[in-house]
Structure 1
Amino acid sequence: MQYGDYQPEGQHLEYKKQLTDTFEKEVVAFLNSREGGVIIIGVNDQGQLVGVEDADALQLKIKDRLKTNISPSTMGLFDVVMLQDHDKLLIKVIVASGSEKPYYLTKMGMSPKGCFIRIGSASEPMTSAIIEELFAKRVRNSIGNITSRYQDLTFQQLKIYYQEQDFTLNEQFAKNLELTTKAGEYNYAAYLLADKNGCSIKVGKYQGTDRVDLIENQEYGYCCLVKATQAVLEKLNIENKTFTKITPTRRIEQRMLNPIALREAVINAIVHNDFSHEVPPKFELFSDRLEITSTGAIPAGFTEDEFFVGHSVPQNKELMRVFRDLDIVEQMGSGISRILQAYPKSSYHFSPNFIRVIMPFAQTEQATMQATMQATMQATMQVTMQADSVENQVLLFCQQPKSRHEIQQHLGLKNRDHFRRAILNPLLESGQLLRTLPDKPTSPNQQFYTAPVDGVASNEGEV
């Protein structure tokens, strides 16, 4: 029995029948390559499925080995996920290209016995000359190495976000999350994640297609970057209207922007922004498009075509690690491919210091747009007038599709079972709340939205 669409081992793919003593060697080789790579455990060299036993324990063991056996730190540079193929469980380890090359086996040191590079389908020792060359180019201006100008930082907001994911940040959390320099001081990543900072993300809105008539300018920031990111996502989700057109045969609904691509573009712009220049990304809404501009350039050594392949090269591994812990970032390296499913490569514009993504709005009739906006306002007002209970708070909040976690967070409820039994299920059974994926009620991508009021078009959209 073969694994999926079997591909032979190569520059970016390695199969392992089981976790072996040479595992870290393969990871080091991918970390030191330009594009990173993937290791599948539970598949032999011929691509035949053998599976793994106790996959949960194996995941934990892999994470622990990568954290402790490789230097410099690999935190934020790898992802470990469980797969199922036929009746076999597999482990997929996604390894990004690191920015602090050369990476090496800690016990062997920065030497040919500890440093490896991927050549074809093999991991080969580096020469001393290559090791010295890579070390000379090592990036030293990353936000993990820059000392925060302020050291009296607090992290209550970050701790709340971790608690909502059933994690508790202990007294050593700053060190564990790599928010300190080698000298033990808070670094710039810590500054961005602190309760108060000087980073503010702007969302501007213009009347027309140029920057002449600015009609709205919101700032989301001076707080934990996670909180600012969630605020920007919420703002753009509100702006991303659903337009409805009734035809003789069916009702056609379309959102201005593809919601999946929009979310990925926003998170990519923030997580991969070059904050060492102290310039945050910005978001600009025009009458016909959204423009997202982030500071930075294509990773060193990459061409534009290679950029679009989707290899993960994190600009800020400390932010990447936190955003993945909080389930804001999904599988590593998936962002660009999801955006390109909805928008062409020509949507990206590169310059030496900035990357801009231009996402055009879907073509809709102006009359339909105005009618839908008016209907949405009326529906919101009706729900607002009745918002005197928890159930009505949910209906008001879900005028735009929301996940189960977002609704619970909005209500301040932590008990998932109570929320489902006492609030969510009754609203679904009464038809007041609807699923975005009705055919897949247990899907992890499931969201919920308020049913149309008196025939008013809803803002249903698959997110």
Structure 2
Amino acid sequence: MQKSKIKEIIKQGEGIRIEFKECKTKLSKDVFETVCSFLNRFGGEILLGVKDNGNIIGVDKACAEQIKKDFATTVNNIQKLNPTVYLTAEEFLLNRKIIFYVNVPESSQVHRCNGRIFDRNEDGDFDITDNSSLVISLYIRKQATYSENKIYPFVKISDLRKDLIKRARKLAVNQKPGHPWAEMDDFELLKSAHLYQKDFQSGKKGLTLAAILLFGKDEVILSALPHLRTDAILRRENLDRYDDRDDIRTNLIESYDRIMAFVEKHLPDKFYIEKDQRISLRNHLFREVAGNILIHREYSNPFPAKFVIEQSRVYTENSNKPHGHGLINPANFIPFPKNPVIAKVFKEIGRADELGSGVRKLFKYSKIYSGAEPKLLEEDIFKIIVPLTPQVTAQATAQVTAQATMQAKWTKIIVEFCKTPRDREEIQKFIKITHREYFRKEILNPLLEQGLLHPTIPDKLTSPKQKYYSLK
């Protein structure tokens, strides 16, 4: 977001998609009512530090950091906003005064603030909780707009794969120890993730298309969506057909795994130092690409998604409900959720970040990986083009061999060390890694996901008595 865009918003004034809040020293209570109404209507933009008439008063410098923290904490507090959302307040300096910009996307869910349902019109935010006709209309509109919310009343929980739900629970806990999914049974988890809903038009309840796509057995998925397909293709030598191909027709979690496996098979990796930690540029870059194909796709459209690796580029295509047309510019890009329920599950299991950050990361890592910017084209068919050039940073080139060797060395050492069960601290001390969060995300979690290490207490992953072992 650029300052010029902020000025345009102020000039335009308040309306159905724009709201100003003073919030000079703290967040006003009605900020979250506006967030709720924007989520329930068409989305919108909020400026903190601006009067109703557009005068910039600014947020007190001494209070700015706390206001930013309080906002992020509150929108993630299910007691305040249900379902919760992932929003951030972006800081700007205008006329030497601090203001915060918040982009609130339209949601596929009906949200409540303090247990009340708010909707939006030109005059502001309105509590419609006690107006049953308006509430029912809101639910019907949400279900009609987002195909992921389509209810399949005859699909039972037995039609889903218990091993996938168990894996999602494990991944969520690995991402965030103490995650509420850890204590939920399978049905509670599905309801918590809004994968079980009620159709307020017909009165039917059931699992949704999102639930089927994420956790369904293959035969159930293909019954609901016979056209579902993601085509991963390598086309370098045989330009008329392909050199390698993976025809992917399965759940979204394993579809992601297979796209990333295809990437790892056919694209070189370049390890890179970021904030004193080693990362894989390839995986960081194409994680965003793979996520985009699966999360932001319009599944009611039979157009098959494509992931194609060529000599000089990687490009993707997937069906889309466009909210704009043309090339996306990350400087003024306003993200719009295509499948918010699916996106939230992917975020919980560490396969995606908050809305909008993926585009920024895609541009960032593409420049480092290939030396050029990607192109994102918003049309009925959404396209991503990542150029493949020999240009990379000198740092990435110099580090690739040494860091790849170190990663392989750690894996071998840890697997051998854990033939006798060891706790996390013992492993960290043994390989001389002091940063706990880095060890958990970059070393321990991958070893668990690959099945090279196993927890001694699999039903309580956060137990203080937890240890890890490798098979002898």
Q: TM-score, length-normalised on structure 2?
A: 0.60
2:137 pairs with 1:115 = no
The offset of 1:177, in angstroms, is: 0.9
The offset of 1:181, in angstroms, is: 2.7
What percent of counterpart residues are identical? 14
Verify the 8 A CA contact 2:119 2:126 in the aligned structure 1.
yes
1:184 corresponds to which of 205, 208, 215? 205
- Match of residue 37 from structure 1: 45
- Match of residue 272 from structure 1: 296
Q: Which amino acid aligns with 2:258?
A: A
2:333 corresponds to which of 305, 310, 318? 310
The offset of 1:79, in angstroms, is: 0.8
Distance 1:188 1:442, change over 3 A: closer
3-state DSSP class of the match of 1:276?
coil
3-state DSSP class of the match of 2:258?
helix
Aligned mates of 1:447, 1:62 — CA distance in 2: 25
Aligned mates of 2:143, 2:237 — CA distance in 1: 42
2:217 corresponds to which of 175, 196, 207? 196
The offset of 1:234, in angstroms, is: 3.8
1:158 corresponds to which of 165, 171, 193? 165
2:349 pairs with 1:333 = no
Q: Which amino acid aligns with 2:286?
A: L
Verify the 8 A CA contact 1:298 1:307 in the aligned structure 2.
no
Verify the 8 A CA contact 1:294 1:355 in the aligned structure 2.
yes
Distance 1:192 1:97, change over 3 A: same
Verify the 8 A CA contact 2:291 2:352 in the aligned structure 1.
yes
Specify every segment of 5 or more residues in structure 1 that has no aligned partner in the other structure, as ranges: 69-73, 245-254, 366-371, 395-407, 429-439, 449-463
3-state DSSP class of the match of 1:116?
strand
- Match of residue 435 from structure 1: none
Please give the per-residue CA displacement for 1:312-332, whole angstroms capped at 9, x wherever unaligned. 321111111111212322232
Distance 1:115 1:30, change over 3 A: closer
RMSD in angstroms over aligned alpha carbons?
5.4
- Match of residue 413 from structure 2: 391
Verify the 8 A CA contact 2:293 2:317 in the aligned structure 1.
yes
2:218 pairs with 1:218 = no
- Match of residue 146 from structure 1: 151
Aligned mates of 1:336, 1:190 — CA distance in 2: 26
Aligned mates of 2:35, 2:253 — CA distance in 1: 29
Aligned mates of 2:427, 2:70 — CA distance in 1: 27
Q: Which amino acid aligns with 1:64?
A: I
Distance 1:242 1:135, change over 3 A: closer
1:231 corresponds to which of 220, 245, 258? 258
Aligned mates of 1:61, 1:35 — CA distance in 2: 15
- Match of residue 347 from structure 1: 375
Aligned mates of 1:265, 1:361 — CA distance in 2: 14
- Match of residue 284 from structure 1: 308
Q: Which amino acid aligns with 1:95?
A: V
The offset of 1:284, in angstroms, is: 1.2
Verify the 8 A CA contact 1:203 1:232 in the aligned structure 2.
yes
Q: Which amino acid aligns with 2:86?
A: D
Query: Which stretch shifts more, 279-288 or 335-344?
Result: 335-344
Specify every segment of 5 or more residues in structure 2 that has no aligned partner in the other structure, as ranges: 11-17, 50-55, 93-98, 199-203, 222-227, 272-278, 444-472
Q: Which amino acid aligns with 2:147?
A: S
Q: Which amino acid aligns with 2:337?
A: P
Distance 1:156 1:257, change over 3 A: closer
The offset of 1:271, in angstroms, is: 0.7
Aligned mates of 2:183, 2:109 — CA distance in 1: 27
The offset of 1:63, in angstroms, is: 2.2
Q: Which amino acid aligns with 1:179?
A: L
Aligned mates of 1:45, 1:303 — CA distance in 2: 35
Aligned mates of 1:57, 1:306 — CA distance in 2: 28
Please give the per-residue CA displacement for 1:78-123, whole angstroms capped at 9, x wherever unaligned. 21569999xxxx999763223568x7768766xxxx4225x7xx94
Verify the 8 A CA contact 2:38 2:119 in the aligned structure 1.
no
Distance 1:34 1:18, change over 3 A: same
3-state DSSP class of the match of 2:354?
coil
3-state DSSP class of the match of 2:77?
helix
3-state DSSP class of the match of 2:243?
strand
- Match of residue 24 from structure 1: 32
3-state DSSP class of the match of 1:291?
strand
Aligned mates of 1:229, 1:15 — CA distance in 2: 43
Verify the 8 A CA contact 1:36 1:95 in the aligned structure 2.
yes
The offset of 1:27, in angstroms, is: 0.5
Aligned mates of 2:19, 2:261 — CA distance in 1: 36
- Match of residue 322 from structure 2: 298
Aligned mates of 2:101, 2:209 — CA distance in 1: 32
Aligned mates of 2:91, 2:429 — CA distance in 1: 30
The offset of 1:270, in angstroms, is: 1.2
Aligned mates of 1:265, 1:319 — CA distance in 2: 16
1:207 corresponds to which of 233, 236, 244? 236
- Match of residue 60 from structure 2: 48
Aligned mates of 1:359, 1:208 — CA distance in 2: 19
The offset of 1:20, in angstroms, is: 3.8
- Match of residue 191 from structure 2: 175
Verify the 8 A CA contact 1:289 1:360 in the aligned structure 2.
yes
The offset of 1:65, in angstroms, is: 4.2
Aligned mates of 2:48, 2:440 — CA distance in 1: 25
Please give the per-residue CA displacement for 1:107-162, whole angstroms capped at 9, x wherever unaligned. 766xxxx4225x7xx9466999x999988865515212232764232332232232
Q: Which amino acid aligns with 2:120?
A: F
Aligned mates of 2:195, 2:262 — CA distance in 1: 28
Verify the 8 A CA contact 1:310 1:335 in the aligned structure 2.
no
1:422 corresponds to which of 415, 425, 430? 430
Aligned residues: 368
Q: Which has the higher helix share?
A: 2
